[in-house]
Structure 1
């Protein structure tokens, strides 16, 4: 990778006009609406009384697939999504115009044979009021770019979960087409659609977007911790530990009792943790 260029690289601000139909499409990409009798699910996929899923802040003003720019010299086929966090400062509107302000925070060198960790941040602003709606932090694992140095402060890694049985569990089934629906919300990385590109990256078939798995966890958090009210979710942080394959059932395991709720996601079919070290913070219900 071109480390010198990355230190001064700045993505152009991304303006995003979106309508309620895009908010619904995002929710459909998380499997909302799978139960036609569930009023809680309907609130995210029906225009009357529509609510936005807070994790949509991950896809609003998405910069597109920029990691393959030749001048950056990143081995983009080997790039994996490692961690993601978002903090909600004000409720995400169901439609409007938003501005994404991007910056690369750090590159942490893990060694020539171990790759590098790149952390970047998006500040999401309402275009008209200039109010900060969300801060989104993304961490990428550059598997083919270790041993070339680094810069910036990567910060602390998410803490491990308790070694205990979960206090609550929610299962969410996914359909085989889920990645093909989810990618329409902005992440067009071909590893999620093309079998040949997936094989080049070391997978026998396309994998699900990490952010889609995070969105599934967001579904579970809203249902389990927020009483179906997305405005109560203030913060989420996750680590993507293993790839998910479309069609798998995702089991979200909750650990309660502290200032924040911890959680992980497991593939039921493979009995494998696919999203780990999750943290969610929610506000108290309105009086």
Structure 2
């Protein structure tokens, strides 16, 4: 069944109530590589319950509605869905435990044409359940590779953040674990594309790929480490566009350009010579 534009644009995504625990916070950080040096106090603050802190990128798993687009009637081909873009803005320090509520809504459905796919844009507000205070705002673009040509609008599309045409000022290499996707999925994204080799092959990949959100989070770790001095409160916002998948076990290099409080960034896998996250923009305090 092809995408029904009006139906998908007005799809009611159920509100998510989440009881976040310190175990969830630690598991998320372990899944994106924190604790690789188990005696580094900068990393331990995210994976040890004593004075535990949340990695800023954990914002993107809060109130996560799961694969709602796999529901019958959306017209989306789940096996051919990949993450296109991700962003967050933090309004108050992320909790390491407590009750939160996330409400996701569809903001646009764009038709790139037959054989070119479709873009599904969403936004999510994450609030403290008790006080209703806004904790963070999330944006996401899903690339539906098999679902273009349904007759919907092709725009408008926000222009990507430009990367300076100059050598990077800063660079940070972080390795991912071979089992990174199998750990990260325990933070709520159970898409078999990241665990089942046969499913991944049917989707056109040689093996299960790392979650886009995990790649994004590894890059976020690089930003916190390199331009925030491992102070998580300094990273206020972050956004980027996925350009190629990462395979678990690969090393991700994050290149950074700093202009005042704005950091432009790009991430590559040097071993394959590919850019995996591009047009990145972060704001720091």
Residues matched between the structures, number: 283
Give the C-alpha shift of residue 6 in structure 1. Answer: 0.7
SS at match of 2:68: coil
Give the equivalent residue in structure 1 for 2:46: 44
For residues 111 and 260 of structure 2, what CA distance do their matches in structure 1 show?
Answer: 33
Question: Taking structure 1 as the reference length, what is the TM-score of the superposition?
Answer: 0.95
Q: How far is 1:241 from its partner?
A: 0.3
Determine the structure 1 residue equivalent to 2:229.
227
Aligned: 1:82 with 2:84? yes
1:281 aligns to what SS in structure 2?
strand
**Per the alignment, in what secondary structure is the counterpart of residue 70 of structure 2?**
coil
Match of 2:220 in 1: 218
Corresponding residue number in structure 1 for 2:74: 72
1:279 corresponds to which of 264, 278, 281: 281
Cα deviation, residue 148, structure 1: 1.3
SS of equivalent residue, structure 2 residue 229: coil
**1:147-171 CA-partner distances (Å, limit 9, x unpaired):** 2133697551322312221101111
Is the aligned partner of 1:208 residue 2:213? Answer: no
- The range that moved more, 268-277 or 209-218, is 268-277
Q: Match for residue 115 of structure 2?
A: 113
For residues 117-136 of structure 1, what are the structure 2 equivalents within 5 Å? 117-136=119-138
Distance 2:274 2:251 in 1: 11
Q: Distance in 1 between matches of 2:261 and 2:218?
A: 22
1:16 and 2:18 matched: yes
Residues 152 and 99 (structure 1 numbering): CA distance in 2 closer, same or farther, change over 3 Å? farther
Alignment of 1:98 onto 2:100: yes
Output the CA distance in 2 between the equivalents of 1:17 and 1:57: 14
What pairs up with 1:105-254 in 2 under 5 angstroms? 105-150=107-152, 154-254=156-256
CA contact (8 A) 1:54 1:233 kept: yes
Q: CA deviation at 1:113?
A: 2.2
Q: Note if contact 2:110-2:153 (Cα within 8 Å) is conserved in structure 1.
A: yes
CA separation in 2, counterparts of 1:23 and 1:83? 23
Q: Deviations over 1:30-86 (max 9, x none)?
A: 111110221100000001110001111111121122221111121121111100010
1:4 aligns with 2:1: no
Deviations 1:85-122 (A, max 9, x none): 10000110100011001100001111112111110011
Q: Distance in 1 between matches of 2:83 and 2:229?
A: 30
Give the whole-Å Cα distance in 1 for the aligned partners of 2:92 and 2:13.
24
TM-score by length of 2: 0.96
Q: Secondary structure at the match of 1:25?
A: helix
* Structure 1 position 137, deviation (Å): 0.3
Output the CA distance in 1 between the equivalents of 2:279 and 2:61: 22
Identify if the C-alpha distance between structure 1 residues 161 and 203 changes in structure 2 by more than 3 Å, giving closer, same or farther: same
